[in-house]
Amino acid sequence: MLYPTPIAKLIDSFSKLPGIGTKTATRLAFYTIGMSDEDVNDFAKNLLAAKRELTYCSVCGNLTDEDPCAICSDETRDKSVLLVVEESKDVTAMEKIQEYRGLYYVLHGLISPMNGVGPDDINLKSLINRLRDDQVEEVIIATNATADGEATSMYISRILKPAGIKVTRLARGLAVGSDIEYADEVTLLRAIENRTEL
């Protein structure tokens, strides 16, 4: 016997989470046992509720507990701009700046030729359908500044441009607060290319 069954099972559950090995899982399981009854009950309840109540918005693909999501059903938002992101977490990141007032579209993945992920493997089809009969005038592509993000960005812009939709993407340049000394060459190159007048 190593651990009593209840804790062994809990360790096993924690181990299934990403980045959590057996040692950390053991520490978390033992910590959980020391937590208040209320906190543990809430934890279990929240796990089940999140799994049960969350769904993807049928309009934008964002994670939501009501369909359509709060953003899509918000009448005050600008329906002429659509910001395309990889995942729901990116929507939250954009919402945090409290500046963007348009709508979103979540791809749930990026085109990744290296990993065999093509345009049909991500949530792209309904984007094209949506643009066909919608009042969208500009699509802002906000995929990560990685190879896959660029590939996806290129693909989307090539499909949308012939349809007469303005396609833009987030600016590339120096991150605010960063040192030029530590910036990589490609970032510096983009920062020079896209320099702005003062």
Name the residues that contact its own copies, by CB under 8 A.
1-7, 9-10, 12-13, 16-19, 24, 26-33, 35, 37, 39-54, 63-66, 69-71, 88-89, 92, 95-96
Give whichever of 63 and 131 is closer to its own copies, judged by the CB atom: 63
User: Burial letters for 31-70: b for 16+ Cβ neighbours within 10 Å, e otherwise?
Assistant: eeeeeeeeeeeeeeeeeeeeeeeeebbebbbbbbeeeebe
Smallest gap from Cβ 144 to its own copies, in A, equals 15
Smallest gap from Cβ 196 to its own copies, in A, equals 30
Smallest gap from Cβ 85 to its own copies, in A, equals 14
Give whichever of 4 and 162 is closer to its own copies, judged by the CB atom: 4
Smallest gap from Cβ 181 to its own copies, in A, equals 27
CA distance 39 to 34: 10
Give whichever of 5 and 196 is closer to its own copies, judged by the CB atom: 5
CA 149 from centroid of its chain's CA atoms: 12
Give whichever of 19 and 162 is closer to its own copies, judged by the CB atom: 19
CA distance 141 to 149: 9
Residues 57 and 72: beta-carbon distance below 8 Å: yes
Half-sphere exposure (CA, 13 Å, Cβ side) for 58?
A: 3
CA distance 24 to 64: 30
CA 172 from centroid of its chain's CA atoms: 19
Give whichever of 13 and 126 is closer to its own copies, judged by the CB atom: 13
Smallest gap from Cβ 65 to its own copies, in A, equals 4
Give whichever of 17 and 128 is closer to its own copies, judged by the CB atom: 17
State both tokens at 168.
């833009």
Smallest gap from Cβ 126 to its own copies, in A, equals 20
